[in-house]
Amino acid sequence: MSKSEDSGSPGWSASLFMQTTEDVARAVVAAAAAATAVRSPRPSAVYSSKDENGGSQFQKLQRHVSRVLKGFSHPPEVRSGTYNPEVLTSQKRQWASFQLQYLDHRSLKEPSRLFESMVVVGLPPNCDIQALQRQYATRKFEGSGKFRSALSCQNNSRVEPNLEPQVLFVYPPEKQLPLKYKDLLSFCFPGGVEVHAVERTPSMSELNEILLSQEHLKQSDLSFVFRLQVADNSTLYGCCVLVEEIVQKPSGLLSLISDRQPAAPSLSRYVMTTRRCYCILSRLPFFELHFGLLNSFQGSPCEERNLRSDVDDTETEEASISGQEDSSDHLDILEWAKANNHGSLQILCEYYRLPCPTRGSKLTFHPLEHLHPLEYHRPDEKVLHIAGSTIDLRSCSTRLEFAEAHTALLAEEEATTLSTWAVACMCGSLRLEHVLTIFAGALLEKQIVVVCSNLGILSATVLSIVPLIRPYQWQSLLMPVLPDDMLDFLDAPVPYIVGVKNKTSEVQSKLANVILVDANKNQIKASTIPQLPRHRELFSCLSPYHAKLVGESYLGRKRPVHECTDVQIEAAKGFLSVLRSYLDSLCSNMRSHTITNVQSNNDKVSLLLKESFIDSFLSRDRPFMKLFVDTQLFSVHTDLVLSFIQKE
């Protein structure tokens, strides 16, 4: 193994890794320049007698980019032979002061609405259907029955019809979208828009099967989730459902497309169909509830009304900030929907008016009598149990403690909502040894790319990292779906975990030093990394749960990935319970390797001595632990734990 591979990951500030929607495809230089929240590195875990200025060329490049582009200087480092606890504790107090300054510009307020916006994205009904039919005839002659937009094929010299998707519908109508227009299009159709042709027959049986069979309720590849950090450093989720519809007709679920012209009778032998994306944009990880809403549109009665559609990209060029609250409930739209028997619009309006449930409470949503009610029980994570310590928001005595505990609680809620379906999907798609390789790579903050043509499995596999590594929290870039027009992002010299739909030659050229997971073939390619401590014991404990999830995986492909059987739920919970106990055990003796400085005003600062901590492990486990304690996720977790240990 090369030196660069063995050097682990640097302790960069977490904010440096947060991608923005200004241009997600840019390399790390632009991403770093776009970030606004600069935080100093955490001086919590320190060597007592080692020079920290070394490292691989990869680490030096990362430190260089961090300093030059962010205009940020590291606190003085304690060199070999000058170990001084007072200096170190002083640095940590200084770091806490920097954190408080950062918090002055950050809102800790939770969203008051269940979702930010609901959009429909796809080809508009008024697109050039004759050009599409001519193009299909040409492709059919060449042996292909479908074609797609060329998001990743800029070098194609063939003259193509315009297959660029558009935002066809937005609710609420006047509210700014939480991400940029062009980014929304890319994430809703990460591989581009495809157009299919269905042959006309007297019975139109094939077309009816496509349009009426509700395939999005029967397949795992028609529902997926994208996730990204937006301008204010908050997390935005996109819950997407792809529905096959006739190109010339407006949305079959909402029928709210404006500027519609009656479709001219076509004498063509084929009817052109395409998938449109129905997407809930939310800052809350209530996946079960959001997908339930999208699925409830099907079968609801509807009439037509011009609302807001064919959105001009200049109108939505700037993304909104999470602090912006939409005070309007749009009662006029709701009353119109009720009066005109527009069930799907009524469902959407009623859903938007619902208040965000408090932690531990239950929400029941039943807007239409003929539909089953949606029920959602919000997890009641008000107290965290980490490394033998209990962390409660009510016990926080400083704003910094409250902010760190609040962030940890948000991370715990996200992990809880992903804990069953995402983990069940990952384990059902990959062998256990591959799952543990990904697990180890995530703990060491490696670059990980998952490739899968099934968008549902792709997004679930990447998102499963969130609950797998709890109580640790991934501090860098995590994107379940990376659009084809943003592949340059893979060149960024920072840790990331991303999902890519197709392993093209362009993708392969960028993956020389990453952990490459091919979920289509159940294969993994990775450089050698140190073995997890007690690897054999961990593998043995996980095997029974993994076997159950593999056994349920075949039927899992016959339904959306976010739906699980009771067997999957119990097996996924058991799988995560083993991993949680395992990770807690790695830091169970942390207190024994901690020093605490107490000032006259009873201000306490605790530090972890890394060398002493690493030496407490068996020699065969130390190579992994040496890399692990150098990661940002370990430092963040350690600071959280120590901040509450020092209060006891």
**Residues near 148 by beta carbon (within 8 Å), at least 6 away in sequence:** 163, 191, 192, 193, 194, 195
The pLDDT score that the predictor gives to residue 133 is 73
CB distance 168 to 308 below 8 Å: no
- Looking at the fold, whether 286 and 399 belong to one and the same domain comes out as no
Rounded CA separation 565/548 (Å)? 11
State pTM to two decimals.
0.80
Domain end call among 297, 323, 349: 323
Same domain, 130 and 261: yes
17: closest CA among 551, 627, 575, 445? 445
H/E element, 517: strand 515-518
Residue 604 belongs to some domain of the structure: no
Q: Are 492 and 449 in a shared domain?
A: yes
Tell me, yes or no, whether 624 lies in a domain.
no
244 and 295 within one domain: yes
Name the strand (E) or helix (H) holding 556.
helix 553-556
pLDDT at 533: 96
Neighbours of 636 (CB within 10 A): 22
The pLDDT, as a whole number, for residue 381 is: 67
Whether residue 177 sits in one domain with residue 37: no
The residues near 629 (Cβ < 8 Å, ≥ 6 apart) are 45, 610, 613, 614
Last residue of a domain, one of 283, 299, 323: 323
- Interatomic CA distance for residues 218 and 498, integer angstroms: 26
Asked whether residue 299 is domain-assigned, the answer is: yes
- The answer on 87 and 228 residing in a single domain is no
576 and 432 inside one domain = yes
Residue 71: give its domain's CATH number.
Answer: 3.40.50.11500
pLDDT of residue 255: 53
Residues 169, 91 within the same domain: no
pLDDT at 188: 95
Say if residue 142 is in the same domain as residue 187: yes
Burial 555-591 (b: 16+ CB within 10 A, else e): ebbebbbbbbeeebeebbebbbebbbebbeebbeebb
Measured CA to CA, the distance from residue 59 to residue 488 in angstroms comes to 20
Tell me how many domains the chain contains.
Answer: 2
Cβ atoms < 10 Å from Cβ of 310: 15
Is the separation of the CB atoms in 529 and 518 below 8 Å?
A: no
Q: Say if residue 172 is preceded by a cis peptide, omega within 30 of 0.
A: yes
- Pair 101, 121 in one domain: no
Classify residue 20: in a domain, yes or no.
yes
d(C-alpha 277, C-alpha 318), whole Å: 22
For every residue of 234-297, which 3-state class applies, written as one string? CEEEEEEEEEEEECCCCCCCCCCCCCCCCCCCCCCCEEEEEEEEEEEEECCCCHHHHHHHHHHC
Residues 63 and 146 in one domain: no
In a domain, 424, yes or no: yes
- CA pair distance 447, 442, nearest whole angstrom: 8
Beta-carbon contacts of 409 under 8 Å, excluding residues fewer than 6 positions away, are 381, 382, 384, 393
In this structure, which amino acid lies at residue 252? G
340: helix, strand or coil: coil
In a domain, 62, yes or no: yes
Q: Which helix (H) or strand (E) holds 166?
A: strand 166-171
- The answer to the question of residue 21 being in a domain is yes
Low-confidence ranges of the chain (pLDDT < 70): 1-108, 136-162, 203, 206, 210-218, 231-232, 252-268, 298-329, 381-401, 555-557, 597-603, 644-648
User: What is the per-residue pLDDT for 102?
Assistant: 58
φ, ψ dihedrals at 400, nearest 5°: -65, -45
Residue 630 Rama label (left phi>0; alpha psi -120 to 50; beta)? alpha
Cβ atoms of 124 and 640 closer than 8 Å: no
149 & 182 share domain = yes
- Domain containing residue 463: 14-105+383-586
Instruction: Indicate the residue type of 506.
Output: E
Whether 46 and 605 have beta carbons less than 8 Å apart is answered as: no
> For 623, which DSSP code?
H
Neighbours of 187 (CB within 10 A): 28
Domain final residue, candidates 561, 586, 611: 586
- Residue 377 included in any domain: no
- Residue 323's nearest CA partner among 178, 36, 107 is 107
